[in-house]
Structure 1
Amino acid sequence: MDKPSTLLVHFDKGSAAMANEIKADLEGSDVAAKVEAMKRAVMLLLNGETLPTLFITIVRYVLPSEDHTIQKLLLLYLEIIDKRDAAGRVLPEMILICQNLRNNLQHPNEYIRGVTLRFLCRLSEPEVLEPLVPSILENLEHRHHFIRRHALSAISAIYRLPQGDQLIPDAPELVERALASEQDASARRNAFVMLCLCGTERAVAYLLSNAERVMEWPDLLQMAAVDLIRKVCRPPNRADKGRYIKIIFSLRSSPSTAVLYECAGAIVSLSSAPTAVRAAAETYCQLLSSQSDNNVRLILLDRLNELHTSHRDVMVDVVMDVLRALASPNLDVKRKVLDLVLDLLTPRNVEEVVLYLKKEVVKTQSGELEKGGEYRQMLVQAIHACAVEYPEVAGSVVHLLMDFLGDTNVAAAVDVVLFVREIIETNPKLRVSMIQRLSDTFYQIRASRVCSIALWILGEYSLSLSEVESAIATIKQCLGDLPFFTISEEGETTDSSKPAQLVVNSVTVSSRRPVVLADGTYATQSAATEAISTPSVTPGSLALTLNLRSLILSGDFFLAAVVACTLTKLVLRLEEVQPSKVEANKACTGALLVMTSILQLGLSSYLPQPIDNDSYDRIVLCVRLLCNTGDDVRRIWLQSCRQSFAKMLAEKQFRETEEMRAKAQISHAQPDDLIDFYHLKSRKVAVNTVIQDEKKFLNHVIKSTNMKCLTPLSALDGECGYIAANLYAKSVFGEDALVNISIEKQVDGKLSGYIRIRSKTQGIALSLGDKITLKQKGGS
């Protein structure tokens, strides 16, 4: 479509036969058939068909119709047809249309008048409009507001045409008088908008004279007033800007949410004063808490984020108002709220923010929230970020979050344990209580990855005697009885720690049978076998504490290797803090029993998959270390691991600080700052020579590189202290190279500048760069 249109309707491409059918239906007397024929004609025209023979038919058989639907379709048809010939002159047939339009403008039916006036808003031919102007103006005083409303729109559209001021020269005066007496909200809005577009001084005078009554205006007129204020206050040094801002501030108490949104945007565009920005932010926050549509909330959060970018200090004061939007059930809204709030943290508000987030975490425990696990994960990540930036608030939330180590949402549980690992390193005051809490809640953990990290924490930060013994006891309790399996007389392997509480509908069969002992004598042995059907786990039962055992028996030998490493660290530390060597040896023996049991399990046929080589080697290494420990090994296991982790955290914090600093520099960039296009940089060679004459240096580079100077000699004549030249060469392999020399003579007589190299082959560029660097230093 290459023609402008106010509507577009899909329709399959028509044919000449369809045009004949349309013509036949229009010539008939059936009203319903005429309506369908007009619809098809309009759709064909919209899709590029011309239908040149249809116009006369419509003039003869459609214009006289009194049916409202046909009249509306006729106006659509007139809107989209070509009204000018190839020379640009209005078609003579349009004179027939003018008479019909004049009759419609004087029609006794209000609907016919209204839709005709609305059609004239989209007509741009002065020759057609000129005879209709008197009838249009008469409709300004019609008793029905529907007609007056569209008459004002038609006058506005006509006056804005290139020759509109000749068609209705006194349009602003007429509209101003109509506005003074108009009562209909839409008609007043149309009149005011016309004055804003065509008579700004009159619109401003009307607004200022009614400044005290703006709050009583309908919302459509209030929004038009806000648009006018934006327009007239666009010059930055307007002296009476304060009067307009006062009107905007008064509109902030409007009951219309659309007006409030427009007012907030207008305030920010008119003034950057902290009071004005705070008022806009408060308005956005008010809408954010009152609107239920998620799309509206996302838009409001975008506006608040824009304010945060340019007015962060002001936005800090409305952080708690923004947080109330977490009541929205939509996760996208929650995520945007948390991202915005985290960027607005300060030492003054961080405690209040963390307390609010803590309450939100507690709410997720009820199970009433949809997607509560994902929301809890977002909250944990937000609290983690708060605690990392402001470690003093970690103590108020870390113990609460540790209750979620056994969360069914594995991602949330992983975030919690990572948070615990980071806080326990960066906040030494909380280590004792956190280790105790971790030992108490360790049995709740069900995810392998969470178990691995929690074990690492226990192994690294259990420092006192009581902490080490508690950690060892916790691990043994979660592993259960050893070995992990036993072999019955029938040759079947069974889990040796199956408790009686787990057996439902179990059948115990006892038998006494003779067996042959090692010395060849006979003895009687009692055997009991259990047939376990459906296990039933009740709260507080033994099965809840056997998380490590369940994971290892499922074939997770990586976790088993972590258990071995953790026990090794704990035993090595116990040897340092335990005064009794006997107790230390007992702990070492118990750890070795665990490791050998794991190896026995991994090498048996009890599990379908045997232990992997990496885990096997790691566990064997732990066994060897406990059997023969040197000082260097002890230092590595008890100190170096934690030091490496502390170094990793320091580097992470440094990277985050640098990223924040870079973002701050970008946000505070000035229009005249230099832009560094990294990908446009070429191979960064700096001029470093003792040669003090520009031309001598250029000749030296040409001679050193065997290149040809493309810059004409005439361009190098004269003495100005600057020189720029392009050199070119082709290697024996046909590879092109281009060198640009740009140098300047300093006050002290030395040369400075850069030599830039271009080549499709990196090797050529590198070799040329090395040669130039080497030669220019020894050039003199």
Structure 2
Amino acid sequence: MKTNIINKLLISLSNVKSGKVYRSSLWILGEYCFEESDIQLAWKHIRNSIGEIPILSSEQRLNGIENDDETNENTTSSTPSGPKILADGTYATESAFDTPEITKSTNNKSFKTPIRSLILDGDFYLASVLSSTLVKLILRLNKVSERKDLINALKAEAMLIMVSILRVGETSYVKKKIDEDSSERIMSCVRFLSEGQTDIKLLEEAFLDDTLEVFKQQVEETLANDNNNAANIANNNLKIENIDEPITFRQFTNKDIKIVDENDKELDAVQEGSNAKEDLSSRLNKIVQLTGFSDPVYAEAYVKVHQFDVTLDVLIVNQTTTTLRNLSVEFAALGDLKVIDKPTSANIAPHGFHRVQTTIKVSSADTGVIFGNIVYDGQHADDSTIVILSDVHIDILDYIKPSTCSETQFRKMWNEFEWENKISINSNLTSLKEYLDELLKSTNMNNLTPGSVIGDCQFLSANLYSKSTFGEDALANLCIEKSKEGLITGHVRIRSKGQGLALSLGDKVAAVARKNNTVTVSTV
């Protein structure tokens, strides 16, 4: 039924106004037109949808411009060669220049064919898909037909269409100029058609076989995700109680009775605490040394991060043989941090211990620095000693969480965000996927393109996204390849609305790449 479906699709395309729908339809025509009659019918429809070519010449003619050279000659001849003198001997007043109006006719409401209208509106992604479809149709016709004259004629017409799109894309007749990616894609299709006789098998494999294989993999991934969602829904429905199941009333049961009901288990977990006890050994990883071992006062802090607060639990040790009087710890902060409370002063006995706590309010995910000092009185009233504390840097990963967004939202935010941090990479890791996993683990970002890694590939491009606890968005684009020497080279571009978040994430990316590697960072 392919021929019947393709005929119905071609009939319906005359009413399609959406570029996204037209792109999908063109892909279907390029993939499933196997018969010579279907190929010619699809080609005829595409040719009629483009309209008169070359597009630039026809648009100039519709807007009243026949030829640029003639226009220039008319403009030159209409320019006065000298002043005009009236009969009474005075000079006539005239305009400094007089050129014919070369503007687009606003009254010209001529009907635009679908593809032509979308191209003039600036949809050059559609133009690149159109170029690939034309190449596919020619390659399929070459497999099923022996008419070399027809194949050569379609090749010439296809190249004329592509070059016409490239020319009009650089003029003011389109709403926006053609982008570099679409221009390169269309130009590569032109080269394939003009120089493809020697590598016809390679072109058929790339355009006809590989694209269909990638489509199959995408369909399989979609089905797998649907099956996982269906399994989750089925698991949620397992909690349905059976008929004649006895109802347990907690108020009437003894404490020694074993809890069986799911609601009772949940209530018991809430009352007794469902969270496991904290492993005290894990605190050692979050302890920051504030002073040296040779200082009269030794201090270290346990940094505990809550949702919007950072608590410093400071342990102070008097390493002298005298009492430290009126000892106080003073903290200050840089960045979007604010010290909430000030620890009270105390007297510490010789070789004694003292603990103080202070809370710092966090208002953004930018890198923050906490610094301070310890002050205590000496032998005299006006004599005091100050011990400078080491800086405490807040880890941005405590506030960055992996998140998801659509491709449209990602592109919109990528264009809107002002700050960009570009990190060049030269890594010794064995595979591209290994580097991607290490990057995701170190930056708490989510991979929005899970299908970017297919087997042992030589090139990888992925979009990453994360969101801070304060609602700040962080975008990243990873573009790496594996060189002949076995090194992974490329760059990571990070964009965010604020400079601090872009720099902080850039430091994390650079830390990953610095493991026995070379890194270059540039901020825009």
- Same fold per TM (> 0.5)? no
Flag the structure with larger Rg. 1
Name the TM-score, length of structure 1 as normaliser.
0.27
Query: Counting strand residues as a fraction of each chain, which structure ranks higher?
Result: 2
For CA contacts below 8 A with separation 6 or more, give which structure has more relative contact order.
Answer: 2
Query: Counting helix residues as a fraction of each chain, which structure ranks higher?
Result: 1
